[in-house]
Amino acid sequence: MTRRRGQTTLDFAVGVSVFLGVVAFAFAFAPTMFAPFASDTGVNSVVADRSADRLTADTLAASPDDPTVLDGSCTRSFFDGSVPADCRYTTTDLPDTLGLDSTTHVNVTIRNASGVRHLGGTRLAAGDRTTTTADVVVARRVVLLPGNDDAAFDRERNQLLVRVW
């Protein structure tokens, strides 16, 4: 009579441990696999980046050849809501200027080390108030702006922030 070996307790314990490890791994990492598709921050990232590029390279730039230097008078007019004839934008509506639809919330701010920058008495911030309840995507560009006297040689380093949600 030959003895056949059945499943031992040790074999059972190893099998159950591997099974429970795989199940725990699946539950731990399954939510993160679908997280990039749960919100539209990917689309907003592209919108914020392109809007920042458009502002610095075209709309507010002193010259398209030097996209980091902003024109002081056009920048001040952009943020105070006026449209001068010699600037490269035609409307004071921020989403329309950036080519966005009306459902996209956008905020554009120019900051320096002291906080929100002022130029000639104009606070350089425009758009919707930033939300605290939604995912906000921020695109940053380092720009040069004239000091408060608009002298071309007196340029200060600032950050242009475009927030989209």
Q: What are phi and psi of 65, to 5 degrees?
A: -75, -20
Q: What is the mean pLDDT of residues 98-111?
A: 92
pLDDT tens profile 7-59: 788 888 999 999 999 999 988 888 777 666 655 567 888 999 999 999 999 99
Predicted TM-score (pTM) of this structure: 0.70
Across the chain, mean pLDDT equals 86
**Cα gap 60→78, rounded to integer Å:** 8
**Cα gap 38→25, rounded to integer Å:** 21
